[in-house]
Amino acid sequence: MAKLYFSYASMNAGKSTVLLQASYNYRERGMRTLLLTAALDDRAGSGRIASRIGLAEDATPFTEGDDLFAFVKAEHAKGAVACVFVDEAQFLTERQVWQLARVADDLSIPVMSYGLRTDFQGNLFPGSRALLAIADELREIRTICSCGRKATMVVRMDGTGEPVREGAQIDIGGNDKYVSYCRRHWLELMGSRL
């Protein structure tokens, strides 16, 4: 039985690296995979998944209005799809998460999605909230805070190295803009949530 997986982590945990490695394992055995990534994240170029360690692959970019079930079904009709991989899954809509669940349930194709759980203010992203609610399996990919503890939070920094406490939930960036911290150090930088 195919499942919908959600692997989540803070920034710089290696989510894209794990995704690309898993897709490579399928392809090495002659199986076809589909790679999807959020169109709004074009740091590596439009429709490209890239890791900090230099791995990269082309992917199909998705936007809010795309029907991912219809897309995967059409691709599967062209040639068997063994697995669907979704990078930047936090940018999925709730509807798209349900579409991916249908890919697993109705098409019997496993879906492995990777993304952030929370934003810089400690709030769930819409796609992450839906995945946490309905994914068959949840997996945490770990990274560490500068103190050595598990990092579960991320701080958005301004150009001067100061934490940003307000603003839009989505502001695409990498190491230049975001730093992962444990909850304790995140609270020290961001201030109390109460």
Say how many domains are in the chain.
1
Does the residue 107 lie in any domain?
A: yes
- Taking only the tens place, the pLDDT of each residue in 139-162 is 999 888 889 999 888 877 787 777
In this predicted structure, the answer to whether residue 164 has a pLDDT above a threshold of 90 is no
pTM: predicted TM-score of the whole model, two decimal places:
0.84
Confidence of residue 22 (pLDDT cuts 50, 70, 90): very high
In this predicted structure, the answer to whether residue 190 has a pLDDT above a threshold of 60 is yes
Does the residue 161 lie in any domain?
A: no
**Cβ atoms of residues 183 and 153 within 8 Å:** yes
- Taking only the tens place, the pLDDT of each residue in 49-99 is 778 777 878 899 999 999 999 999 999 999 999 999 999 999 999 999 999
Residue 123 is predicted with a pLDDT of 86
Residue 182 is predicted with a pLDDT of 87
Does the residue 129 lie in any domain?
A: yes
- Residues catalogued as catalytic: 88
Does the residue 48 lie in any domain?
A: yes
Does the residue 152 lie in any domain?
A: no
Does the residue 112 lie in any domain?
A: yes
Does the residue 97 lie in any domain?
A: yes
Does the residue 158 lie in any domain?
A: no
Mean pLDDT, the chain, rounded, equals 88
What backbone phi and psi angles, to 5 degrees, belong to 80?
-50, 130
- Taking only the tens place, the pLDDT of each residue in 106-143 is 999 999 999 999 888 888 999 999 999 999 999 999 88
DSSP string, the chain: ---EEEEEE-TTS-HHHHHHHHHHHHHHTT--EEEEEETT--TT-TTEEE-TTS-EEE-EEE-TT--HHHHHHHHHHHS---EEEEESGGGS-HHHHHHHHHHHHHH---EEEEEESB-TTSPBPHHHHHHHHH-SEEEEPPEE-TTSSEE-EEEEB-TTSPBP-SS-S----STTTEEEE-HHHHHHHH----
Residue located via tokens 């040639």: 79
User: CATH number of the domain that 103 lies in?
Assistant: 3.40.50.300
Please give the residue range of the domain that contains residue 82: 4-142
